[in-house]
Amino acid sequence: MFASRSSVLLALTTLLTLFSTIDASPVERRRNNQDSNLVLNQYKVPTTVGASTLPTPTGTLKAIALGRGTQNYTCSTASGTPVSVGAKADLFDVNPLLKSITIAQGTQLLNLLPQFLLNFDLSLVQRYSIPVLGYHYFNGGGQPMFDLGSTGFLVAKKTGDIAAPGDAYAGQFGVGYGAVDWLNLVDAGGSTGISEVYRVETAGGMQPPTCTAAGPIQVQYAALYWFYQ
């Protein structure tokens, strides 16, 4: 999909310029937030891959975030198959990007972002002024957590799971073991401000089919997360 590393860099620079033009005064910031919240309501989470669908969201859309991090696996021996042990990702706020563009353009942009930013190390992405909405990680009990600060906190459990499209981005620079499934997760008890999240438009994150050494495996991934209350 991407012609070269330099063209990707150029495109990212453009993107980051967009991110960094997010504003000046608190009044303007407040107005922008109101505008983009209004816009957000008109976006619809993609829930269909071929003949498979995730349940339709029931609540109000609170936020859309770009997740960038790793899916974690472990191998107990040098042979056998990797077992999933969780994930860790930064959740970047896409809201500022949706200002001043149409819903159709915004939808296109959103759906391209994961495969695009997967090509850049998280440490590089973190150095730009992309606003961080929160963090995704697993707690000691193996539950997926989404900490969005003042927006809310979701202790999640999976309710829907469909395979990513066959042509989804397989890994960094298109090379890897495939894109992790699209998911629907809901409150497992103890959440505030958010009751549901979708993980869609996944890029990378799938584990190798077999182990080659005992120990942890971290596979780079990116995805769009849609949060509802």
* Chain contacts with ligand NAG (rule: CB under 6 A): 69-70, 72, 85-86, 88, 138, 218
Question: Which residue's CB atom is positioned nearest to ligand NAG?
Answer: 86
Which residue number, 141 or 189, has a Cβ lying nearer to ligand NAG? 141
Choice between 69 and 205, CB closer to ligand NAG: 69
**What minimum distance in Å lies between the beta carbon of 178 and ligand NAG?**
19
For residues 185 and 155, what is the distance between their CA atoms, to the nearest angstrom? 9
The closest alpha carbon to 137, from 129, 127, 128, 147, belongs to 147
Q: Compare residues 36 and 172 and give the one whose CB is closer to ligand NAG.
A: 172
Least distance CB 87 / ligand NAG (angstroms): 7
Q: How far is the CB of 28 from ligand NAG (least distance, A)?
A: 36
Which C-beta is closer to ligand NAG: that of 100 or that of 218? Answer: 218
Q: How far is the CB of 196 from ligand NAG (least distance, A)?
A: 22
| Closer residue to ligand NAG, CB minimum distance, 62 or 136 | 136
| Shortest distance (Å) from residue 193 CB to ligand NAG | 24
According to DSSP, the residues that pair with 48 across neighbouring strands are 53
* 26 phi, psi to nearest 5 deg: -60, -35
